[in-house]
Amino acid sequence: MSGDASLRFAGKVAIVTGAARGVGREIVRAFVDAGAQVVAADRDSDGLTETCRPHGTRVNAIVADISTTDGATAIVARATEAFGRVDICVNNAAVAPHAALLDERVEVWDRVYAVNCRGTFLMTQAAARAMIAGGRGGRIVNFSSGAAQRGAAGGAAYASSRAASESFSRVAAVELAPHDILVNTISPGLIDTQPKPLPPAMAERLAARIPNLPLARAGRPEEVAALVLFLASDAASYISGAVINIDGASSAGGRFSGVVVDDDVRYDWVTGRTRR
């Protein structure tokens, strides 16, 4: 981790949901490397064990479902029981099944919203209550997706649920500001967390998509973790209510070919170009 003192977290306690794999696993690692104690939560017990194994007693694992009141309450209670406080809560857990709108099933829709929206709400509420009780303020980092800003086919439930997380986080930022709790949202583009080996249809889609991204690569989970740590750090003390893209410019545009051709004669008078 950085030697920057503002990115050190000694004495701080962070909760990370969705810690069993992908981005969540790297967030746990980054906080431990930066000196924090971490409660790592997920519904996947095996993955959670793998995440926590290298970190010994610095990480406390809890198998819980963030979409339930009991689950969210138990995760936050674990932080105060095990480490005595809650300073940071990273609501990274989410699900992203895709289906055509005409085939979308209501029970899948509801499950996506239960995890991505209700889970984010329940975790934010439970963590904020503990932070207020602690009297030291806090940081909450929620997650969205670039999909929330696009009309990508198949993402009706996922994309709209992530847009809802953004909206929810703005309200939370305003309501929790008097308690010195800062709430921000990270909106990743394509991050390399897909199952390996890649299932065939996924491999085909990524092979078509990646060369067209501005940086021609997916983001790495540790790059997202670095942004989480920044937002949780003293360096980000006046950032709240923000939605921050981490997408290698993919929300700005596609891959640049390296050549700009302008043969529009209307602006020759602007450029001074003369034509034969």
Interface contacts to ligand NAD, rule CB under 6 A: 17-18, 20-24, 42-44, 47, 65-67, 92-96, 115, 119, 143, 145, 188, 190-191, 193
Beta carbons within 8 Å of 86's beta carbon, 6+ residues apart: 13, 15, 76, 79, 80, 127, 130, 131, 134, 138
Q: Record the tokens describing residue 224, joined without a space.
A: 């997202």
Residue 62 has what DSSP assignment?
Answer: E
Please check whether residue 130 is in contact with residue 181, taking contact to mean a CB–CB distance below 8 angstroms.
no
In whole angstroms, the minimum distance from the beta carbon of 241 to ligand NAD comes to 18
Helices (H) and strands (E) in the chain — how many of each? 9, 7
Beta carbons within 8 Å of 4's beta carbon, 6+ residues apart: 235
User: Nearest-CB residue to ligand NAD?
Assistant: 22
In whole angstroms, the minimum distance from the beta carbon of 246 to ligand NAD comes to 9
Tell me whether residue 8 or residue 158 sits nearer to ligand NAD (CB atom).
Answer: 158
Active site residues: 158
Distance CA 59, CA 51 (A): 9
In whole angstroms, the minimum distance from the beta carbon of 235 to ligand NAD comes to 22
Distance CA 194, CA 276 (A): 54
In whole angstroms, the minimum distance from the beta carbon of 124 to ligand NAD comes to 14
Please check whether residue 31 is in contact with residue 7, taking contact to mean a CB–CB distance below 8 angstroms.
no
Tell me whether residue 138 or residue 248 sits nearer to ligand NAD (CB atom).
Answer: 248
